[in-house]
Amino acid sequence: MDLHVRYEGDDDPAKCSARKLARFDLAELHRSARATPTGIVLNPFAEQALSPLDGAGFDALVALDCSWETAEREAFDLRGHHRALPFLVAANPVNYGTPFQLNTVEAFAGALCILGERAHAERLLSKFRWGHTFLELNAEPLERYAACADSEEVVAVQGEYLDAGGADETGD
């Protein structure tokens, strides 16, 4: 699966995982929405969760690389089939341990694992010192999401993690 990034360039270039992927020819950066190919768009605002079913018929994953402070619904106005990643925990040094705050390489790796392309995800993450940690932190949910038949099942599995997290926060 080809990886494409709609690159905003508004975060720290030294910490930008999308730029690093591009340096290793693992993803292609695009400065405009029109130049970005159509595919599965990883969009946290999407109404449907990514599932293994989405892998059929698509040969491109698209991510928006921008700062979390400026990420807004309008920024994800890209052509394609928009899907949200389910509950996953960041392993990158900036957002370590924070649910749903993945950087670009983590989003790609999570999506690839769900779509049955774990070896591709491992290849991407191997370029980052902390990359293996992402797969370790999310081993169980990634395996469970990849075994789901459709988006509805992914959302049900995600609900188990969100319910468990809520119980831990309240002391139940």
* Positions at the binding site for S-adenosyl-L-methionine: 17, 64, 85, 104
Q: How confident is the model at residue 74 (pLDDT cuts 50, 70, 90)?
A: low
Tally of structural domains, the chain: 1
* Contact of 106 with 90, CB cutoff 8 Å: yes
* Contact of 112 with 118, CB cutoff 8 Å: yes
* Positions at the binding site: 17, 64, 85, 104
Show the tokens assigned to 40.
């599965």
Question: How many angstroms separate the CA atoms of 64 and 11, rounded?
Answer: 12
pLDDT in tens, 62-71: 998 876 555 6
Q: Judge whether residue 167 has pLDDT over 90.
A: no
> What is the extent of the structural domain holding 84?
2-170
* Contact of 8 with 70, CB cutoff 8 Å: yes
Q: Which amino acid is at 31?
A: R
Question: How many angstroms separate the CA atoms of 23 and 41, rounded?
Answer: 22
How much is the pTM? 0.90
Show the tokens assigned to 153.
């099942």
Residues ≥6 apart with Cβ < 8 Å to 51: 83, 114, 145, 148, 149, 150, 151, 153, 154
pLDDT in tens, 115-160: 999 999 999 999 999 999 999 999 999 999 999 999 999 999 999 9
- Check residue 11 and report its DSSP letter: S
* Contact of 114 with 52, CB cutoff 8 Å: yes
Least confident of 4-8, 34-38, 122-126: 34-38
